[in-house]
Structure formats: structure tokens, C-alpha cells
Amino acid sequence: MESVQVKLFAVLRDRFGAESVVAELPPGGTTAGRLLEELSRCYPDQARHLAACRVAVNRRFAAANDPVGAADEVALIPPVSGG
């Protein structure tokens, strides 16, 4: 099984107490939406916060059905507010 390092930013970094987490991928990779589902399953206490995040793959926001593989740079971007 492959894995991908998922970078965490802002409030997620604080909530997880880490700069990144490692997610296991099925052979051939997954999609951005399924990656979020898997992280929510692995971290159920963070599921509510993860649901509000955007996935970025290789420094571009990804749609739910965009592919994610082990060689990709993946980050979770929480919503931001301010003026």
C-alpha cells in the first residue's frame, strides 16, 4: 500500500498538533474527496473540521474527483476569514 504526506495549515496544524499527517492510499491512488473521507475515518474527532477544508494537490485546489497519488504534494487548506 502507498502513502502520501498531507500538509496541514493554520487551525488544522493546531488541532492535529502536527505539521502533517500520513494517509494510506489504495494501489493506484485515490481522489481528493476520498482522501478527505479516509482522513475523517482515521481522525473522527477532527471530521467536522476536515469537512470544511479544501484539498490542494501540487499547489492547486483540487475538485473532489481529482486524482491523488503518492508522488503528489498534498495539503489541507481550512477556511479563512478576515477583512
To the nearest 10°, report the CA torsion of 35, 62, 51, 28.
-10
Percent of the chain with pLDDT over 70: 96
pLDDT in tens, 19-51: 999 999 998 889 999 999 999 999 999 999 999
Residue whose C-alpha cell reads 473521507 in the numeric block:
37
Mean pLDDT of the chain: 93
Q: Which three cell numbers stand for residue 26?
A: 489504495
Residue whose C-alpha cell reads 500500500 in the numeric block:
1
Contact 24, 5 (CB under 8 A): no
Q: Which three cell numbers stand for residue 44?
A: 473522527
Q: Which three cell numbers stand for residue 8?
A: 496541514
2-77: what CATH class?
alpha beta
